[in-house]
Structure 1
Amino acid sequence: MNQQIASDTVVSVRPELPYVEMSGFENLSDDERAVQDAMHKFARDVMRPAGIAIDRLSAEQVIKPGSAYWEFMAAAASAGIGFDIDSGDMPPQELARLQAIVIEEFGWGDAGLSVSMLAGAFPNLVAKRSGNQELIELTTGKLGAWIATQPDRGSDGTMLYPGERHSLAPKGNKGNLVAKVSGGDIVINGQSSAWVSNGPVAQVAILSIATDYGEGFFDDEGHPHGIEIIVPLDLPGVSRGKPLEKLGKRALPQGELFFDNVKVPLRYAVSQGDSYWRGHAATWSTAGVAMGPMMTGVARGAFELALEYVHERRQGGALLADHQMVQSRLGAMARKVEMMRAVAHRATDYSSRSPAKHPYYTAAAKVTCTDLAFEVADEALQLFGGYGLSREYPMEKLFRDARAARIEDGENHVLNMKFGYLNSMLYRNGQLRS
């Protein structure tokens, strides 16, 4: 039986399209959305153009006064943009969500500049964590760096437990950048690796290095003693190498620093002696958790570029977006971005609120997000075809930035191994058992 319907009446039996935020399938509060909109505007109008411009410069050109890098840093400072979010009376869970939202927008804008801003703020963040007012004043308004790797001690510096050492090694690796305590001072000698973020431009740094307190560099288990100490980089004996030319994240200045009998008051230490390894773990966990949302932003940016392109490019007489195989590929990419965001938010929340956070869990989240970011960027570039390889399009830059992240802040295979070791320790301790 036919039913006549008035011409001005629209009847649909199709489900409505789902609700989405700018960043995907999530529900933000009005306050969170307002912050996201503001950060996205900065990322779109200032950060992304700056990152593209800086990417085309040599490493030496990037750090020269008046470069696009310094113009960006000035613009960020003028706008009050950074990683030190004023929490006020905000509950920890809400603050963790907001941090993840902000950092994702930064990553969407430019991953290299995001890391530079994070490293720049890090000594001051650690000083505030320590409650040492002198260190807070020493680091406020100063561009920072975190020096934790050396030419002969990269991932070894993240080995928190003696049991992780190779069975053939009688002792751990102290490296060549070391400190000795002498009275009320600490004397630093050696060089960092060339991968120190902000190394060529930083004014102050936090060092995580092996230390001799008077009885050698190693404890009874052959594990190195250590210290975390904040060091002004204008002290006598500090010098720098050339900025590093590298594949990705070229907007992030990286380079080595040399220390020749650099003397720093012992009161500049934020963790030392028996408290060093726990302090170092907390520092690493705090720094590493940002990689998840940051690389979610990179992957989201790559996915959005691919989504736009397949709705413009035609193949076989139809838009690429109308081909079922392309829709399947888009679906796989979108799932990975959503998965990254979920992992990043979970890790941020855990590290913010857990009574005993751990950097090996943070590292596991970093591995998941950076591996998936690279997969998304790789597929996005593939959808662009030959255009994806051209520097005329931003896709190849995102591909390079995503690739760099799988080594940055800990090489992914090593970090994955550490997470496995952590789960084994938890099991032997009677945890993770049903």
Structure 2
Amino acid sequence: MFRNTLLHLISGDRGGYGTPRAEERYWDAFVRGATLPPDVIAPAVAVVIRQVHTLDDAPLPDAAFAARLENELLRNQPGVVTPPSPILLGADAPRNGPIAPAHASARSRRRVVDLTATAALLAIVLASVVIMLRFGSPASHDEDAFPLVLGPGITDETLLLQARFESFPEGWLSSSVERWVLQPGGEAEVGRGAYSGEGTYSGEGPSAILVEAGTLTIQSDGPIAVTRFGASTPVTLEAASEIELQTGDRGFAPNGVVSLWRNAGAIPVRLLEAKIRTNLTAFPGRGVLNYVVVEQSIPTPTRPVIMNVFQITLQPEAVLTADTISGLEMLKVEAGRLVAIDVDREGNALPPKLLGQGTRQLDSFPPGRAFRSGNDEPVTLILVTIANTNPLRPDA
């Protein structure tokens, strides 16, 4: 949910974003179920915050509406292709990630049970090890990718995006995963950020994108890194050069680089974007749909971080434990009904919490929390991890 945007509309404030205001601290505490801060805020604002969160368990914008609108826009579009070899993108040293199996419809798969699931998981792990040994770069351990090794019944494990972010804009930031749809002729300027008051812009923040469908034309005012579909090494392209990204291609733009995205083709372009950005950004132009998949406010990182975006399918018999996913920060239910089960101090299971389609869990993963399907249907999840590149200072 766009916490800062909504709060600033309510209060009429157009000030800076350097520190969270009383309303923002109240908002965050209410979302996490924590003790409400002692800050005194206007009663009307407190009522609005509570009413917004009782409308639905999913943050704004309405994910179901966005999905329906996107399906309408992409009605005549060819199927989306997920590239099989995600690449770690960054300003300095690119890293190779594990190759994930191609995504298939959950309804078309036979349920994976017992020995079949174990054998499939073992094959995936062994294949990943072989690929890393053969194609992996000589990176130090703290800069390697953070692959998921999950249990039986968890299928379609796909690493959609992986990026190393090194520099960040000033002010209060959000880690965000967003989707874009550009209609033919549509264009959007990204990366400019907020006006500094001295004739310059602070930058919106570093960004990594995956072209899920269509052909995207990009022209930037600074160097960007591009990894072509099937390639293992990104290529740096200088400013002002106009490039085209095809389905399966990836791009990376550091903080401060402004790019113009255009769809010069005859079919819509669909993008997935992962970024750490300021809370003050421009609205997309005409013919462009942009909506948040999942996001949360974060303090400015003091060192480079690696951000991963995974998609998995949780089969009805499978259990996903949050503790097994290093650096898990956000979870989004893309399809299906998910159940979250917590344990008390004695290790006893508490009553399950039902999380419907569109639900987003933000930094709320208590020790021992487990997830499973809420019925006899598979659940598709988006998982976002953010990892410090210094293993000796995981809390930095």
The question of a shared fold, defined as TM-score above 0.5 by the shorter chain, is answered with: no
Higher helix share: 1
Question: Which structure's CA Rg is the greater one?
Answer: 1
Length-normalised TM-score, structure 2: 0.31
Higher strand share: 2
Q: Bigger relative contact order, structure 1 or 2, given CA contacts below 8 A and separation 6+?
A: 2
